[in-house]
Amino acid sequence: MDLDPRYQKTQFLTSAALVSQFSQDTGHEVAFAGRSNSGKSSAINVLCQQKGLAHTSKSPGRTRLINFFALDTERRLVDLPGYGYAEVSEAQRQHWRELISDYLRRRQSLRGIVLMMDVRHPLTEVDRLLLEWNKVHQIPTHILLTKADKLSRGAALNTLAALRRELAVAYPTEVDAQLFSSLQRTGLDEAYAQLNLWLGMEPLLGG
Ligand code: GDP
């Protein structure tokens, strides 16, 4: 199995700059987070098998918003604004922190966070901040070490093992990690398995 056809129907729902603009909070939701350029849009597009889906949330004016996508009436994927743009002002950073922490704190339907980290630069300062928030709010987290094709298989596995060791100390139960490449379409089965579990979907049979 590689691509799960049930994700093909995912559609853009709405964008939010404020809690009052969030979509309805029922059913199951999984949010994608990661610093800018971590490969978040590419991962969402590959998983949903639609080239332009998450890049619509990169159009001017949308990059700092929370973007909601619907698989069906009861299941959503959420693209959280990227972080780590060097040129961003302190006021914008503060807005990002407030918007994300509001989202994490209030969202009843949130089942888990997929956190993207470039396999060559895992666990940046803001990644750690997000992991801390998830821990505080008891939100399960699944890390995709993206762009795994940029390293040799051995080096990528070493990075994964080192990350898992560090997570096991700091976040014993709520976090796991895997390798992922949108370019080579590797790691899809594992990622879908986690998404299906969180979204309350049956495993795809016959894969
Ligand atoms: P975002 O800012 O986190 O949404 O990141 P993007 O998905 O836009 O990707 C940032 C850059 O990394 C783009 O130039 C992508 O082409 C590249 N990229 C994304 N995923 C992969 C991958 O799996 N392998 C490689 N080699 N490059 C990737």
Reported confidence tier of residue 64, pLDDT bands at 50, 70, 90:
confident
34 lines ligand 1 (CB under 6 A): yes
How far, in Å, from the CA of 19 to the mean position of ligand 1? 29
At 57 the pLDDT is 61
Reported confidence tier of residue 93, pLDDT bands at 50, 70, 90:
confident
Over the chain, what is the mean pLDDT?
A: 91
178 lines ligand 1 (CB under 6 A): no
45 lines ligand 1 (CB under 6 A): no
At 100 the pLDDT is 92
Rounded to an integer, the average pLDDT of 93-115 is 93
How far, in Å, from the CA of 206 to the mean position of ligand 1? 30
At 95 the pLDDT is 87
Q: Which domains does the chain have, with CATH numbers?
A: 5-199 (3.40.50.300)
Rounded to an integer, the average pLDDT of 146-153 is 98
182 lines ligand 1 (CB under 6 A): yes
Minimum CA distance residue for ligand 1 atom 28: 147
- Probe ligand 1: pick from 35, 38, 40, 42, max atoms within 8 Å of CB? 42
Rounded to an integer, the average pLDDT of 55-82 is 84
150 lines ligand 1 (CB under 6 A): yes
At 202 the pLDDT is 87
At 2 the pLDDT is 77
Which range (90-99, 121-130, 135-144, 188-197) has the least confidence?
90-99
Atom of ligand 1 nearest to the CA of 38: 3
At 177 the pLDDT is 98
At 204 the pLDDT is 79
* Whether the Cβ atoms of residue 15 and residue 67 lie closer than 8 Å to each other: yes
At 160 the pLDDT is 98
